[in-house]
Amino acid sequence: MNKHLAIILIGFGFWSCQKQAEIQSIEWRFGQSGENLQKISSLELFEKPSVIFYKNDRIEFNQQSLKNQLVETSYVKKVYASNELKSAEAVFIEPRSVKVLNAKPATRNEKRFVTKVSHEVAPLYLRNYNSENVLKLHKGVLKDFQALHYELNDGTLWKAYFSGQRLVSIEKQGSQFNEFTAQVYPLGPKHSDLTEVLLKGLQLNTSVSNQYVLVDSESSQKMTSVLPHLKFDPKDERFDQVQVFYYLDYIQTWMRENLSVRFPEKLNAVVDVGYPDKTNTAFYFQNKIRFGRGDDVDYGMLASDPSIVYHESFHALIDGMARLPFEKEGGSLNEGFADFFTCVVLNRPFLGETAYLKGPFKRTIQANIRLSEKTGGLYHDSQILSSLLWEIKEKLGKEKSLKLATDTLSKLNPNSDFNHFNSQIIEVIKLMPAKDQEIVNPILASRGFNYE
């Protein structure tokens, strides 16, 4: 997680009181008896109301004040028609229910404290801040809080509530505009056109993120939170960031729905690695995927190739389930699983169809390579596994073959080799219905694997 910590130093005294509050909600309409109106009118209000005019009406909003402290959860709404009160409503704390307010006033600068506030905003610093004492309902209890209003350097406004020196919550202020129209290649530039899509739940800083995925860029073109949309030309460096975000968000959803896999942490990626150089970088390491732009000799538009982005994201899945290594036989298993899952998602047995410039694709998993034909070559040997799984998928169907592959993967470990894989897939096959075993076992046999 790209969490940046800021240290806020503010000084003020604190005091606290806890009381069971009685929240009331009442309303009054013109023509009704005046009892409720009287109650609403007797409330102590906080400064001036906000006012807006709608047709002939004047609508006022205000909040309750108790002993000069704002009651956060309260509101008082009054509607006037031609200066005559038409309706009034209020949600407020019954003043009499607050028996004793701590009489000791907050003596500012009495205490200084240090607290940490974390935001996924980089670089983070406070531009402006001010604080006030408020009364707020917290878990059913009316409590005193110190509310700190502050602005970050990206222009977003926040409010942090402290109880004494303890940070209780942080809330983002203002309207949340987190839907963006973007343009991407849903299936890559070879198999789809640039298409407008709606990305929801986005956070934009220099990165593009949602609750599952965060994509950064090393390019000099930075994303900002004030962009009206994310429709970039594919030549624009920011395009890669949006495209990779789209793919990773898609594939994480796919993994949740098809493999029942959930990642507790956001998957991180960075594009334009090596900027301004155009690199052929594409790899996964420790929860982060790195993509270059492609050198336009061997690879072009690396980040737009779904098979490459999906392949790298499956390394994250494999890492979490089996922590297979990246070299030797375990490395070939790692690559074979990543290729197999990728090809199932795309429903095509080819890797690198879009980005690889020296042929129609970089690898195919539609092959017939027997276990005994191992050469020690990382990708050559990965095809022994990926093509085995692909043939099983062709004959057994997508759902069952995905389950077989994922169940087997979950039994592997950093020391696994082809022998261990073979013993574990046998264990999983034994739990399958007999008619499915009759489909899978001959495939294993024909490729030189053991079976029962």
CB 338, min distance to Zn ion, A? 5
Q: Which residues bind Zn ion (CB under 5 A)?
A: 335
Q: Show the tokens assigned to 35.
A: 């009892």
CB 440, min distance to Zn ion, A? 25
Cβ neighbours of residue 393 closer than 8 Å, sequence gap 6 or more: 340, 344, 401, 402
Q: Which is nearer to Zn ion, 144 or 335 (CB)?
A: 335
What is the residue type of 374? K
| Euclidean distance between the first and the last CA atom of the chain, given in angstroms as a whole number | 45
CB 360, min distance to Zn ion, A? 20
**Looking at 12-111, which runs of residues are DSSP E strands?**
18-20, 23-29, 50-54, 57-62, 65-66, 69-71, 75-81, 84-93
Q: Which is nearer to Zn ion, 216 or 335 (CB)?
A: 335
Q: Show the tokens assigned to 185.
A: 């290649």
Radius of gyration of the chain (CA): 30
User: Contact 450/430 with Cβ under 8 angstroms?
Assistant: no
CB 385, min distance to Zn ion, A? 13
What is the residue type of 107? T
Q: Which is nearer to Zn ion, 342 or 406 (CB)?
A: 342
The closest alpha carbon to 80, from 62, 57, 63, 53, belongs to 57
The closest alpha carbon to 309, from 357, 255, 277, 352, belongs to 352
Q: Which is nearer to Zn ion, 14 or 340 (CB)?
A: 340
CB 207, min distance to Zn ion, A? 24
Beta-strand relationship, 126-138 and 69-71: parallel
d(C-alpha 42, C-alpha 146), whole Å:
26
CB 331, min distance to Zn ion, A? 9
Q: Which is nearer to Zn ion, 362 or 447 (CB)?
A: 362
CB 298, min distance to Zn ion, A? 16
d(C-alpha 133, C-alpha 265), whole Å:
35
Q: Which is nearer to Zn ion, 210 or 382 (CB)?
A: 382
16: exposed, middle or buried (Cβ count in 10 Å: 0-12, 13-18, 19+) = exposed
CB 217, min distance to Zn ion, A? 22
Q: Which is nearer to Zn ion, 312 or 391 (CB)?
A: 312
Q: How far is CA 66 from CA 71, 93, 108, 142, 437, in A?
A: 7, 9, 20, 11, 74
Q: Which is nearer to Zn ion, 341 or 418 (CB)?
A: 341
Number of H helices, E strands in the chain: 8, 24
What is the residue type of 141? V
CB 335, min distance to Zn ion, A? 5
348-383 burial, b if ≥16 CB within 10 A, otherwise e? bbbbbbbbbeeeebbbbbeeebebeeeeeebebbbb
CB 228, min distance to Zn ion, A? 37
Q: Which is nearer to Zn ion, 183 or 416 (CB)?
A: 416
Q: Which is nearer to Zn ion, 143 or 362 (CB)?
A: 362
